[in-house]
Chain A
Amino acid sequence: MSETQFGVTLPARRGFSVPIQVIEAGGVTAWLVEDHSVPVVSVAWSWAGGQALEPEGREGLAGMAASLLTEGAGDLRATAFSDALSDEGIGLGFSARADVFEGSFRTLTDALPQAVALARLAMTAPRLDEDAVARVRARALLAARQQTESPGAVARRAFWETAFPRSSLGRAATPETINTITTGDIRAALDAQIHRGGVQVVAAGALDAAGLRALLGELFSALPAGTPPALTPPGPMEMFGKVLRPMPGPQSHMVFGQDALPPTDPDWEASQVAIRILAGGGFSSRLMRTIREERGLTYGIGAGLSVAFGQALVQGVVSTENARASEVWRLVREGWTDMAQAGPTEEELRDAVAFLAGSLPLQFTDSRRTASLLLGLRQTGRAPEWLAGRPARLAALTRADVARAGRRFLRANTLALAVAGQPLGL
Chain B
Amino acid sequence: MTTLTRRTALKGAAASLALPALATPSEALAQAATPPPRATSRGPDQPLFGAVTWTLDNGLRVVLAENRRAPVAAHYLFVAAGSGEDPAGKSGIAHYLEHMMFKGSPNVPSGAFSRVVAREGGQDNAFTSRDMTAYFQTVEASRLPLMMRLEADRLAAPLMPPDEYEAERSVVLEERRQVVESNPRSRFREDFDATMWGPQHWRGRPIIGWENEIRAITRQDMIDFHARWYAPANCTLVVAGDVREADLRRWAEEFYGPVPARPALTRDRAAPPEAAGEARLIRRDAGVREPSFLRAFAAPSATWGDRSLHDALDVLAHLLGGGTGSRIHKALVEEGLAVGAGASYSGQVLGVGSFFLYATPRPGVSTDRIEQALNAVLSELLDSGATEAELRRSIRQETAGALLALDGLGAAPRMLGGALSIGLPLDAVEYWPQRLASVTLDQVNAAARQVLGTPGANMAGWLLPGDA
Contacts and interface: CB of A to CB of B under 8 A. Distances in A.
Interface stretch (B6-14, B55-63, B437-445): B6-14
A253 B182 contact: yes
A365 B72 contact: yes
A300 B10 contact: yes
B408 A366 contact: yes
B84 interface: no
Given A248-B287, A366-B408, A135 B333 contact: yes
Nearest to B394: A86
A89 B38 contact: yes
B384 interface: no
A319 B178 contact: yes
Contacts of A319: 9, 174, 177-178, 182
B21 interface: yes
Contacts of A331: none
A304 B400 contact: no
B145 A359 contact: no
Contact of A104 (B28, B120, B397): B28
Given A39-B41, A172-B21, A284-B115, A320 B32 contact: no
Given A82-B323, A362-B72, A146 B290 contact: yes
Given A40-B403, A148-B289, A364 B17 contact: no
B404 interface: yes
B241 interface: yes
Contacts of B410: 366
A351 interface: yes
B265 interface: no
B246 to A, nearest CB: 16
A328 to B, nearest CB: 10
Interface in B384-414: 393, 396-397, 400-404, 406-410
A124 interface: no
B58 to A, nearest CB: 20
Contacts of B396: 87
Interface stretch (B163-171, B212-220, B223-231, B302-310): B163-171
B171 A292 contact: yes
A92 B123 CA distance: 28
Given A283-B114, A361-B140, A250 B17 contact: no
A83 interface: yes
A93 B171 contact: no
Contacts, number: 333
Contacts of B7: 282, 300
Contact of A359 (B19, B121, B167, B409): B121
A6 B17 contact: no
B118 A281 contact: yes
A98 B20 contact: yes
Contacts of B401: 89-91, 108
Interface stretch (B271-279, B334-342, B343-351): B334-342
A142 to B, nearest CB: 5
Contacts of A386: none
A37 interface: yes
A69 to B, nearest CB: 11
A259 interface: no
A110 B41 contact: yes
A44 B25 contact: yes
A417 interface: no
B119 A10 contact: no
B162 to A, nearest CB: 15
B21 A97 contact: yes
B1 interface: no
B25 A108 contact: no
Contacts of A283: 102, 111, 114-115, 118
B171 A298 contact: yes
Contacts of B403: 38-40, 108
Interface of A: 5-8, 10-11, 13-14, 16, 35, 37-40, 42, 44, 46, 51, 63, 66, 70, 78-79, 82-83, 85-99, 102, 104-106, 108-110, 131, 134-135, 138-139, 141-142, 145-146, 148-152, 156-157, 160, 169, 172-173, 205, 248-251, 253, 255, 281-284, 289, 292-306, 308, 313, 315-321, 350-351, 354-355, 357-362, 364-369, 371-372, 375
15 contacts: A7-B149, A66-B22, A108-B404, A110-B41, A135-B339, A156-B20, A172-B20, A253-B182, A255-B16, A301-B13, A358-B140, A359-B123, A360-B121, A361-B72, A366-B410
Given A87-B397, A249-B182, 5 more contacts: A8-B149, A51-B20, A95-B28, A104-B28, A304-B13
Interface of B: 7-10, 12-14, 16-26, 28-34, 37-38, 40-41, 67-72, 102, 107-108, 111, 114-116, 118-123, 138-140, 142-143, 145-146, 149-150, 153, 166-171, 174-175, 177-179, 181-185, 241, 286-290, 323-325, 333-334, 336, 339-340, 360, 362-363, 393, 396-397, 400-404, 406-410
